Amino acid sequence: MKKTGAQILWESLVREGVTCVFGYPGGAILPAYDAMLDYPIRHILVRHEQGATHMADGYARATGQVGVAIATSGPGATNMVTGIATAMMDSVPIVCITGQVGSKAIGSDAFQETDITGITLPVTKHNYLVTRPEDVARVVREAFYVARSGRPGPVLIDITKDCQQSSCEFVWPDAPKLRGYRPSHTPSSREVEQALDLIHSAKRPIILAGRGIQLSNAREAVLKFAEQANVPIATTLLGLGAIPASHPLNLGMMGMHGEAWVNTAIQEADLLLAFGMRFDDRVTGNVKTYAPNAKKIHIDIDPAELNKNVRVDVGLIGDLRETLEGLLPRIEACDRTDWVSYISMLKGDSAVRDIQNLPDNGHLYAAHVINDLWRETRDRETIVVTDVGQHQMWEAQYYKHEEPRSLITSGGLGTMGFALPAAIGAKVARPDAEVWVVVGDGGFQMTMCELATIAQEGIDINIAIINNGFLGMVRQWQEFFYERRYAATPLVNPDFCKLTESFGLKAMRVETRGDVVPAVREARRHQGTVLIDFRVEQEDSVYPMVPAGNDLHNMIRRPSAIVETGADA
């Protein structure tokens, strides 16, 4: 039976299991939108195409399935670039579909023409320009395969308007075969033997747990490995939740704003086991002084990651879960009690500096808000979606994630404006989960137009704005490294409550510590989205902090004056 390219597009998406797409229509994609009405796919109308990509991203991170965003040509397509780059940096499987001007108009600077495949080439795993309806089904089949296989990532399909309008016989292809694409790898036996020798001879090993654990569903294998070999686990930002926060071997987050004892232990380790992480500069600090006495084993699905940032002694290329399951029968029990006890001792100094343990001085700190939010929401399945900045780091430090995919955040690209639309995607994907947005007052204003999407689509999430009246993390850097010269970081904000209420949504403002818990409880009882504007201390900082490019053990700790008095920085 003959179908148009637009019909074939939706037929193919249905066959890939797609039930929801996030998008914004326009002239070059109108044939596809017209055909969409005849297919059982929910369309979420966004207010900006960047939001569509973040929603598809949040959908994918919350489920592990491929998220789909759709837009028209020209500015519609270029508005997607930030979201595509965000997904690329964090290995998120999304497929972005853009309309393109007619084939004969390509290269003529036609209205709303842009070479989107050229623009997105560096930030996609693969992309396509489709000009014939005969190619649509094959390309969709390949795009989903590429997006979800191996190291996941974004794929873009650009379809000309005449392709959408033309007809051909619809044929759903067999499993895709792409020449030169090898998503599966298996480590060599020689490398496995080398790794086992290093593991069994190590006295002070540390596992570095990254997002790859969640991508390969390797949680149980990592826990068995750690317990069998008695090896403590440090996590990256994107690795939070991969291992239960309450597990006795879980040390917490490492790196620039990681716990001091975690970074110290890494610097004193004699073996690092990097599981599905990529030695990001926020994790290592100065690579020349990074874990100077440690041998290093790196397991990753992407061969390009091995020895890219840090030279390793053994690199095992392969799926993390499958590789660990191959190693487990040969992992011998080891007594590393002294090493584990030593790390526990390191925690003591950090505990007395923790702002949670200081007397209440009447000020509302962001850490209090996050800690109370965690205590109030841990009774059910909760997903927290954060933006980027100080609140992101406080969330990572004070919200104790027990389950995979319970924290969604932009780690690699650090995209402000990510949280609100990504949370919409997460809620659409997992409607039974409670979803909280934790966002700064700066980042929220980048995509707050999506409040209209929430209102129109009836999305039920809660939003916690950590409002300090600054671009907080930039201000902190200005305080530490630019003599408190606050250039372009103070913010004059709108009334977030009135703004939210103008969309018919509920809003509250909290200015004291005692009002945090009642507000969270009221938001949870309310049917529908609630925004809480938490007015926190303006010049509070995230501690500890490893200055960019500095040695990992050279941390800025919470000042002694604050330790003694609890006064402001």
Q: How distant, in Å, are the alpha carbons of 238, 245, 249, 337 from that of 341? A: 27, 18, 11, 6
Angle between helices 366-377 and 516-525 (to 10 degrees): 40
Write out the H or E segment, with its range, that includes residue 23. strand 20-23
| Residue 11 annotated as catalytic | no
Residue with tokens 């623009």: 119
Round to whole Å and give the CA distance between 488 and 356: 31
Q: Which of 36, 55, 144, 161 is catalytic?
A: 161
* 377 contact partners, CB below 8 Å, separation of at least 6: 434, 436, 520, 524
| Residue 473 annotated as catalytic | yes
Q: Which of 65, 112, 228, 456 is catalytic?
A: 112
Which region, left, alpha or beta, applies to residue 305 given φ > 0 means left and ψ of -120 to 50 means alpha? alpha
* 34 contact partners, CB below 8 Å, separation of at least 6: 6
| Residue 49 annotated as catalytic | yes
CB 5 within 8 A of CB 30: no
Q: Which of 104, 111, 356, 501 is catalytic?
A: 111
One-letter-per-residue 3-state SS of 445-500:
HHHHHHHHHHHHHCCCCEEEEEECCECHHHHHHHHHHCCCCCCCCECCCCCHHHHH
| Nearest alpha-carbon partner for 116 in 147, 157, 145 | 157
H-state helical runs in 320-389: 320-327, 337-353, 366-377
Q: How many CA atoms lie within 13 A of 293 on its CB side?
A: 11
Q: Which of 36, 254, 446, 473 is catalytic?
A: 473
| Nearest alpha-carbon partner for 466 in 498, 436, 440 | 440
What are 397's two structure tokens?
């430090």
3-class secondary-structure state, position 137:
helix
Round to whole Å and give the CA distance between 182 and 403: 31
Round to whole Å and give the CA distance between 138 and 121: 20
> Catalytic amino acids?
49, 111-112, 161, 473
